[in-house]
Structure 1
Amino acid sequence: MHVCVLGAGIVGLATAYVLHQQGLEVTVVDRATPGAGASGGNGAQLSYSYVQPLADPGIWRQLPKLLLSADSPLKLQPQWDLQQWRWGLAFLRACNARTSANSTAQLLQLAARSRVGFEAMLQDLALDCDFSRTGKLVVYTSADALAAAGRQVALQRRLGSVQELVSPQRCVELEPALQHYQARMAGAVYTPDECAADCLKICAGLHAALLARGVRFVLGAEVQGVARQGTRMDAVQTTAGRVQADQFVLALGSASPALAQQLGLRLPVYPLKGYSITLEIADAPHTAPRVSVTDAARKVVFARIGSRLRVAGMAELVGQDSRIPPARIQSLQDSTHALFPGCVPGADVQPWTGMRPATPTGLPLVGRQARGPENLLLNTGHGALGLTLAFGTAQQLADGLLGRDVLRSAAALLPRPAAHTAS
């Protein structure tokens, strides 16, 4: 069986890897280089145990700020775009406790499966991707926000996650670089076994390994159209020629809806624009964190990747806008200075923006769609959890393609906590 995977981000490459491992012939098509889209400068956190969807009941209280505040980390810019309005209304409908809890349970199960697949891939390929397992602190500055986080922790604990609420003093014991921020903190959620890795390096390593193992890549090739035969796709026409296959996987991230529309499908996927900077870290101890840190109020994440610190955040519903406003980059620098004043940015902070493909509920779209071609499978809509979920959804897609009905419990797949050391 020949499978054509459309998309060479982390989701598409994970799909290609898993399918090739199953003995299938695979071709990967992308208009750019591997990892050049939303994967390239993401937050670098592998959040296997902390997957709370953006669609949360607390969003309702934040709506005035989302619509009116210029410096809000979550920003909505209404446009004359029917897709944006459909997505926004569906998102608000999902902002309730029942949907949030259901999404959390499914995301935890996918994340647990993804951890197993990702770490098996690392062992198989021995990729140099600055992988570490030093845990994560999600820091809160208000007692109300910490209490809400506690309720989420209780929910996730029932589903098998190993987490705890910790005091500001304990935060500093776990991550001494937070000492300057201790007075501002109400507490944090600590997850001891969370990981981090450079997603762009993973994409580059997967590309090289798959190429060496016989996977075909058609890169720098824009998809121009789709040829159909009855209820099936026959080929995609690209600027590099025609690519035929028996099965097709749509893993184009935020570009997925445009191609799906040509096939009669309307996907509830909309880009959530995010930003990042990457800083070289000084040798002085306790200036930059080793534990991954998330500032819940600012919606900013900090992850150590080798000798660098990745700082990423914000979520904007502004359409396909690839501009990088200086104010957004300055905001990330200000957040870094607030939490880690010893991290002095150099002249080049490597500003980046990417379009995270998000669904209203936060659950990715995986597998066949009733109204689509019978040999088309989706693997898109991962939002900010693309790196975390990629190998889980790839395995789920492979199971569906090969006719396997694999039922796994989240609790059985969730790993035991690891020691608080880098690996």
Structure 2
Amino acid sequence: MKQHIAVIGGGVIGLSTAFALIRAGHNVTLIEQNEDVGLGASYANGGQLSYRYVSPLADAGIPRQALGWIMKSGSPVSLRLRVDPTQWRWMLSFLAACNRSTNRKNAKILLQLGLEGQTEMATWRAEGLEGYFWRQAGKLVLYRQNKVFQKAVSTIQNPTLERALSPEDCAKIEPAFAHLAPDLAGGIFSPEDEVADSYLFCRSLKVSLLSNPQFRYLPGKAALKPETDKHCMLTVDGVGYAVDRIVLAAGLNSREIVVPLGIRLPLYGLKGYSLTLRPSPEKLPSISVTDYDNRVVYARLGDTLRVAAMVDIGAEDRSLTPTRLTSLRHLVRRTLPGLNSNNLPDFPWTGLRPATPTGVPIIGHSRYENLLFNVGHGALGFTLAAGSAARITKLIDQAHPEGIQK
């Protein structure tokens, strides 16, 4: 049954949701408070569509590792403790999820969601969605510690789709990183993983949506408040809008939007950084690479190299922290000396990635019959966007016309 659905949020999650709902025949209004789409956490992320490498951050040993990182300058993770109940609640839940059994359970959930998204994205491309530097480049994860490498190898389920490589094989498959071979324990190569530019993907989705008469783009600030015990009311810049369903996909802003409804979303902003460089084409790596020990990703997007890294826990804004950017630039120069990055301009960016403590996004019904959530994708937003959109669409299509079945 065709419905009128409002999607709050014009990032990669909200736009993907709107696109999937339009394809299913619904009328969709997309609401975005920024001056355009894709300007939040979607703008300059790592660019990797890592469908088979989706293990949550919360895992056994991570708290101990993080303590070591926190004491080191330029570490992958930094922590700034605040007198903030939201931070403490999130961190306690995160610590509770830092065990092997929980990690493996949640990794399976994310893997299934990612693979659903890969299939959905392939369908969208086949139907003509393009213009965002998509490539099936394959992904190589490099490990320096043998114990960590062997642990990763033990999780491989399909050796055809995830291949364990020696340091020498890693150097052959991506020569740009060959000089690291003496320091490596090995690598895992996933030939079917992909790369694309998340911001350009958002732009492509918007262009396609605007060509559909069942779609409306509505700039403004959305707000929700209770209408009855079972339904909530939507306003945009103070003006009420009557719709059949509302999908909240506003990233970290979702947390604030549901406060008037008496709902507490377990989201916290994990601040990440990226650099976009434009070296000579012959110096660009062709394969997407993750430096596991330094938690840095390298992805070729067209004629640029996107380098994304770091998690700052406790950062409250999107300001560019000079010391973190300096550390990232030094790491790029050490890792890829052939780029001559000292002479290259780079374009720094930072964003707050909306994460749940477990790393598993919240996709589904709320206690209000007309409100659904599609939030909490953390650093995997681009990878999980299409799969999440397909699940939301399925939930809406399966719902009874007179109310969501729970």
Q: TM-score surpassing 0.5?
A: yes
Residues 114 and 161 of structure 1, relative CA distance in 2, 3 Å threshold: farther
Q: Which amino acid aligns with 2:287?
A: V
Alignment of 1:72-221 (within 5 A): 72-153=75-156, 157=157, 162-214=161-213, 215-219=215-219, 221=220
Alignment of 1:247-326 (within 5 A): 247-283=245-281, 285=282, 287-326=283-322
Given that 2:137 and 2:286 are in contact with CA atoms closer than 8 Å, whether structure 1 keeps it comes out as yes
Residues 17 and 9 of structure 1, relative CA distance in 2, 3 Å threshold: same
Alignment of 1:330 with 2:333, yes or no, is no
Q: Paired residue for 1:2?
A: 4
Q: Paired residue for 1:415?
A: none
Q: Paired residue for 1:395?
A: 390
Question: Aligned-pair distance for 1:223?
Answer: 2.5
Q: Which amino acid aligns with 1:195?
A: E
Q: Secondary structure at the match of 1:374?
A: coil
Alignment of 1:14-33 (within 5 A): 14-32=16-34, 33=36
User: Deviations 1:254-274 (Å, cap 9, x if unpaired)?
Assistant: 111111222111111111110
Q: Secondary structure at the match of 1:118?
A: helix
Inter-partner Cα distance in structure 2 for 1:381 and 1:392? 14
Question: Aligned-pair distance for 1:243?
Answer: 3.0
Inter-partner Cα distance in structure 1 for 2:197 and 2:340? 21
Q: Paired residue for 2:403?
A: none
Inter-partner Cα distance in structure 2 for 1:126 and 1:16? 14
Question: Aligned-pair distance for 1:168?
Answer: 0.9
User: What number of residue pairs does the alignment pair up?
Assistant: 395
Residues 248 and 180 of structure 1, relative CA distance in 2, 3 Å threshold: same
2:336 pairs with one of 322, 337, 340: 340
Inter-partner Cα distance in structure 2 for 1:348 and 1:262? 45
What percentage of residue pairs aligned between the two structures are identical? 36
User: Deviations 1:299-330 (Å, cap 9, x if unpaired)?
Assistant: 10000001000000111112432111122222
Q: Paired residue for 1:411?
A: none
Q: Paired residue for 2:404?
A: none
Residues 185 and 112 of structure 1, relative CA distance in 2, 3 Å threshold: same
Question: Aligned-pair distance for 1:373?
Answer: 1.6
Inter-partner Cα distance in structure 2 for 1:195 and 1:225? 37
Inter-partner Cα distance in structure 1 for 2:93 and 2:101? 15
Q: Which amino acid aligns with 2:381?
A: G
2:377 pairs with one of 378, 382, 388: 382
Q: Which amino acid aligns with 2:198?
A: C
Q: Secondary structure at the match of 1:332?
A: helix
Question: Aligned-pair distance for 1:398?
Answer: 1.0
Inter-partner Cα distance in structure 1 for 2:177 and 2:28? 46
Inter-partner Cα distance in structure 2 for 1:269 and 1:222? 20
Structure 1: 5+ residue stretches without partners = 406-423
Inter-partner Cα distance in structure 2 for 1:249 and 1:299? 32
Q: Which amino acid aligns with 1:391?
A: A
* Aligned Cα root-mean-square deviation (Å): 1.8
Q: Which amino acid aligns with 1:204?
A: R
Q: Paired residue for 2:355?
A: 358
Question: Aligned-pair distance for 1:161?
Answer: 7.7
Question: Aligned-pair distance for 1:378?
Answer: 0.1
Q: Which amino acid aligns with 1:339?
A: T
Q: Secondary structure at the match of 2:142?
A: strand
Inter-partner Cα distance in structure 1 for 2:128 and 2:90? 39
Alignment of 1:222 with 2:221, yes or no, is yes
Inter-partner Cα distance in structure 2 for 1:142 and 1:398? 42
Given that 2:223 and 2:234 are in contact with CA atoms closer than 8 Å, whether structure 1 keeps it comes out as no
Inter-partner Cα distance in structure 1 for 2:203 and 2:22? 17
Residues 167 and 393 of structure 1, relative CA distance in 2, 3 Å threshold: same
Inter-partner Cα distance in structure 2 for 1:56 and 1:303? 25
Residues 53 and 161 of structure 1, relative CA distance in 2, 3 Å threshold: farther
User: Deviations 1:231-287 (Å, cap 9, x if unpaired)?
Assistant: 212322326x4333111011011111111222111111111110001011203x3x2
Inter-partner Cα distance in structure 1 for 2:310 and 2:83? 22
Given that 2:74 and 2:328 are in contact with CA atoms closer than 8 Å, whether structure 1 keeps it comes out as no
Q: Which amino acid aligns with 2:27?
A: E
Structure 2: 5+ residue stretches without partners = 401-406
Q: Paired residue for 2:244?
A: 246
Inter-partner Cα distance in structure 2 for 1:233 and 1:225? 6
Residues 66 and 86 of structure 1, relative CA distance in 2, 3 Å threshold: farther
Given that 1:166 and 1:188 are in contact with CA atoms closer than 8 Å, whether structure 2 keeps it comes out as yes
